[in-house]
Structure 1
């Protein structure tokens, strides 16, 4: 296997010069650079990636902690991250977590061991205060609003106003028995907490949703949960986890030949457009690009995107 020493000897230059050429250092003459590159190609030299990383002090890799890809929010967010990465010199390292705290901790330790340069939490189970203890080892970005964590950056969605608008539209239609569907229906989910806050703002602090379901991610989940709802004629409105879930609900109601409640989807997907569903655009693709930008930033900051409810551009559902 060819080494840097052999190339330097044949080129009549120092090993440090060869290293500068390999790492695209500017302070090398064009003649010397071309001579070294010709020898690298001739001898089919492949630089050791680990050695290059150590010499540069960077891996050019960013870790992305992702719980799953069952929900379109995460797939669109990943697409935004991928497109941002393609325009840079960085690679993404996908780190599936399934909301397992030990796995998430192991990814933080990879940051500490300099296996990656930065870490993005698209969602998490591990506590923020524990995450922050690793911020000294590299930039950490979380996709949620932060209060009191000065060492962490955040790129997040402000969903509150869109949820208020969605529930206001439902209330204006006289809907009283609402079913709310979530990916996670617990206190660790910022989306769950925000949606309930918006619901209480619109329907009153003492009111409660008629039913709440968690672990609802895709079309089949929507179809399955419809089987639990179709025989309850009091249900008149559903906030679905996504447009795909809404499509599953509609399919289930149609199969049982039951009246379909008024349904609002989320994520502004093609299936929602085809079904003319009201939906909420959470701009998850743009959030992915924003989170990537923050992971490369030298400064710590909070950046926010505003979700938008889209009802008027779609035809209203006939009840």
Structure 2
């Protein structure tokens, strides 16, 4: 396999001149550029991406840790990251997460070995404290409020919209409210904020029986409805972790000829718009774009993007 040294030797020019041709730099005449290009064509010379990355100190790759789940959080977040990466000339490496600590630590080790320039955790299971050591190897961005932790973050500022949503529910005198949550609140910032807002508005924590975890899809919403009915819980209102999830919940009731309770979704999906129930728009595409800018160094301060409670669909 030909090397840049072979191109320089055969063309009669220095390695630095060949390098300027490869990188389309100035200060090379058209005649010299043509001759060097001809030698490269004759040798079928292909520049080494690894060598190029080492020379410029960048891979132009960003790792994105994400669940392979059909939920707007991950779909819209990835879309926002991808759009911003394309505009900035960066490539994305999608790194599947199964909430396995060893896998997440492995991605941090890849960052240390310069497999990519930065790492975005759209979700994570390991504590932030484990990530801090790796910040010297590249930028690490998380996608929830970091609190007092010294780490970059782009996230949806859900707190105010959750307070508005539960106040709306409370003022309509719903009392037996079911919550469909992504994960245990000890592990999920979304679930933690949901329960905190409920508690502030209703003056007490929700009944544990009225909370269903791991609800991420339409099918999960359908299964949650079956759980409530089979256990005789009879909620008069459901706050779901997504419009599709709320729609799945309603479908179970309809199929079993039951009166559908009040519903509220999240993420302003088409299903919720067609059914007309309230929702919350968390602007995840904007969150993803901001995360990418942080990861490549185009921004330096964490950002919380305001989410919007939408009581009436237009």
Which TM-score bucket, shorter chain as reference? over 0.9
1:90, distance to aligned residue in structure 2 (A): 1.1
Rounded to whole Å, the distance in 1 between the matches of 2:95 and 2:27 is 37
Greater helix proportion: 2
8 A contact 2:7–2:36 mirrored in 1: yes
**Residue 203 (structure 2) aligns with:** 204
8 A contact 2:122–2:143 mirrored in 1: yes
8 A contact 1:178–1:209 mirrored in 2: no
Map 1:261-276 → 2, pairs under 5 A: 261-276=261-276
**TM-score normalised by L of structure 2:** 0.92
Rounded to whole Å, the distance in 1 between the matches of 2:206 and 2:139 is 42
**Residue 174 (structure 1) aligns with:** 173
Question: Residues 57 and 225 (structure 1 numbering): CA distance in 2 closer, same or farther, change over 3 Å?
Answer: same
**Match status 1:224 vs 2:223:** yes
| Greater displacement, 130-139 / 220-229 | 220-229
Map 1:243-254 → 2, pairs under 5 A: 243-254=243-254
1:233, distance to aligned residue in structure 2 (A): 6.8
**Residue 47 (structure 1) aligns with:** 47
Map 1:1-319 → 2, pairs under 5 A: 1-29=1-29, 31-41=31-41, 43-150=43-150, 152-205=151-204, 208=207, 211-230=210-229, 232=232, 234-297=234-297, 300-314=300-314
8 A contact 2:228–2:234 mirrored in 1: no
Q: Deviations over 1:250-274 (max 9, x none)?
A: 1111000101111111111122222
Rounded to whole Å, the distance in 2 between the matches of 1:96 and 1:14 is 44
8 A contact 1:63–1:118 mirrored in 2: yes
1:33, distance to aligned residue in structure 2 (A): 3.8
- Unpaired runs of 5+ residues, structure 2, are none
Rounded to whole Å, the distance in 1 between the matches of 2:167 and 2:299 is 39
Rounded to whole Å, the distance in 2 between the matches of 1:288 and 1:155 is 7
* Partner-residue secondary structure (3-state), 1:87: helix
1:186, distance to aligned residue in structure 2 (A): 2.8
Q: Deviations over 1:79-117 (max 9, x none)?
A: 111111111221111111211111000000011111111
Q: Deviations over 1:179-202 (max 9, x none)?
A: 001111231211111111111111
Rounded to whole Å, the distance in 1 between the matches of 2:242 and 2:169 is 17
* Partner-residue secondary structure (3-state), 1:293: helix
1:56, distance to aligned residue in structure 2 (A): 1.5
**TM-score normalised by L of structure 1:** 0.91
1:43, distance to aligned residue in structure 2 (A): 4.6
Question: Residues 196 and 71 (structure 1 numbering): CA distance in 2 closer, same or farther, change over 3 Å?
Answer: same
1:298, distance to aligned residue in structure 2 (A): 6.2
1:309, distance to aligned residue in structure 2 (A): 1.0
| Greater displacement, 287-296 / 207-216 | 207-216
1:28, distance to aligned residue in structure 2 (A): 4.0
Question: Residues 266 and 37 (structure 1 numbering): CA distance in 2 closer, same or farther, change over 3 Å?
Answer: farther
**Residue 317 (structure 1) aligns with:** none
- Unpaired runs of 5+ residues, structure 1, are 315-319
1:214, distance to aligned residue in structure 2 (A): 0.3
Q: What do you get for the CA RMSD once the two structures are aligned?
A: 2.0
1:281, distance to aligned residue in structure 2 (A): 0.5
